[in-house]
Amino acid sequence: MSVLIKGGRIITAADDYTGDVYVEGDRIAMVGESLDLDADRVVDASGKYVLPGCVDPHTHLDMPFGGTVTIDDFTSGHTAAAFGGTTCHVDFVIQTPGQSFAEALDTWHAKREGKAIIDNGFHMAVTDLREGGSLEELARLPEQGVTSYKLFMAYKGALMVDDETLFRTMEVAAETGALVMVHAENGDAIDVLIKQALAAGNTAPHYHALTRPPELEGEATNRAIQLARIAGAPLYVVHVSCKEAVDPIAHAREKGWDVWGETCTQYFFVDYTFLERPDFEGAKYVYTPPPRSRENQEVLWHAVRSDILSAISTDHCAFLWDGQKTMGKDDFSKIPNGAPGLENRLHMIHEFGVRAGRINLNRMVELLSTNPAKLFGLYPRKGTVAPGSDADIVVFDPEKRHLISAASQHSKSDYNLFEGIEVTGSPEVVLLRGNVLVDNGELIAEPGIGQFVERAAFGQELLPTAAR
């Protein structure tokens, strides 16, 4: 299959020009002006943007959590991603207590087998180094293309690890070329605050935020940074939500330390007051870290604009409001933590980032595609429009109006964080390795087309010539 994309405005992290893109097989063969080539399909991209497929480095599909399982499997999650211009993501393998890393990885490979519509890699969430996986087994994961380790400093009694486990994993990462990711909150202090709130009869959804104050995110972020420095490991702080966590990352980056951070789409738009909505509607916005006070939103825009934070993910962790979130009707601590978002990241950041003048198009591509690809060993196969790269391409209509609504979304979740917002700008044609996934609002691809991508070690390139 060959595709010629004609006359589009090609935008990468560094470039912005009008030209043509010729796709042969699964890769970009040529980029230039007025290419006179025969192709099986010609896409007229006049007046449209031609973007690299977005890369989401933080998702949770088909994940058991809090007594239930996230509502989106790989097919529904990937469908939502494709309609939102995301062509590759990295999902989290959750090691259960007593389970080896190999067993955990096999479990997650089985979840995606025959269901994948876009490409994906895996992070390994380390929860047990005593009775489950060993340090030696952890060190072998990069040989299998799993080049990032995730540790939870929160969720005591479930996913949380102690500082010894965190530090030992960091030491292994320093030796193996893996990137350490942390969910940075002080889980011990949060556990005390939750118990105190419930003992006082405070059970409503907004107590989720009141028992997870921003100071505890800031403390854990700084602690992780200092431990990573001692271990000599690169560190990536996930879902940064507030000034208290931005500040230590800014300090580390000013010092030239190997520290990076991400935030998520929802933290720019949802604030603490959403949790106070009546009739248990506030439960829709129970995710972790929680929505913060509104002044943090401009802090985050400044952070992504100035490269204090280097990526925007979704932390897509979708549940049903009616039937799953309602498990915590009488106890906020039993509300499953997480929210949908895979489909609307590009919509929202283009509308309120680019169109609002907060960031330019190049920075948008950098935050949503190129930086995640570079940080997680996918670049330059993913994350750019260049000869030799995978033909993961989004033809984006900057004038197309799109109403965001649960009624029309492709996630199985029964609500949308951005319900009723109308944006200008939406994907029109989405390609994955030269295959048309989405064409003018219609899903073309079938489950099974998505591939598992073995990622390169941190700081190394995943060359387009690498074996598939």
Residue 351 domain-assigned? yes
pLDDT tops 70 at residue 205: yes
The domain tally of the chain equals 1
Residue 338 domain-assigned? yes
The SS3 assignment for 9 reads strand
Q: Please report the pLDDT score of residue 468 as a whole number.
A: 40
Residue 76 domain-assigned? yes
Domain residues for 357? 54-375
Could you list the beta-strand ranges (E) of 369-441.
Answer: 393-403, 422-432, 435-439
Q: Please report the pLDDT score of residue 465 as a whole number.
A: 58
Cα-to-chain-centroid distance, residue 302: 20
Is residue 221 within 8 Å of 228, Cβ to Cβ? no
pLDDT digit string, tens, across residues 371-423:
999 999 999 999 999 999 999 999 999 999 999 999 999 999 999 999 999 99
In the chain, the percentage of residues whose pLDDT exceeds 70 is 99
pLDDT digit string, tens, across residues 222-269:
999 999 999 999 999 999 999 999 999 999 999 999 999 999 999 999
CA separation for the pair 308, 306 (Å, rounded): 6
| DSSP, residue by residue, 28-75 | EEEEESS-----SEEEE-TTSEEEEPEEEEEE--S-EETTEE-S--HH
Residue 87 domain-assigned? yes
pLDDT tops 80 at residue 467: no
pLDDT tops 50 at residue 199: yes
Residue 24 domain-assigned? no
pLDDT tops 80 at residue 132: no
Q: Please report the pLDDT score of residue 247 as a whole number.
A: 98
Q: Please report the pLDDT score of residue 97 as a whole number.
A: 87
pLDDT digit string, tens, across residues 348-376:
999 999 999 999 999 999 999 999 999 99
Per-residue pLDDT band for 457 (boundaries 50, 70, 90) equals very high
Query: For the whole prediction, is pTM greater than 0.85?
Result: yes
CATH code for the domain of 253? 3.20.20.140
Q: Please report the pLDDT score of residue 125 as a whole number.
A: 97
Q: Please report the pLDDT score of residue 312 as a whole number.
A: 98
Q: Please report the pLDDT score of residue 463 as a whole number.
A: 84
CA-nearest of 51, 20, 52 to 33 is 20
pLDDT tops 80 at residue 212: yes
Residue 197 domain-assigned? yes
CA-nearest of 296, 184, 180 to 233 is 180
Residue 49 domain-assigned? no
CA separation for the pair 453, 370 (Å, rounded): 16
pLDDT tops 80 at residue 133: no
CA separation for the pair 224, 214 (Å, rounded): 16
pLDDT digit string, tens, across residues 327-339:
999 999 999 999 9
Average pLDDT over residues 128-143: 89
Average pLDDT of the chain to the nearest whole number: 97
Is residue 432 within 8 Å of 119, Cβ to Cβ? yes
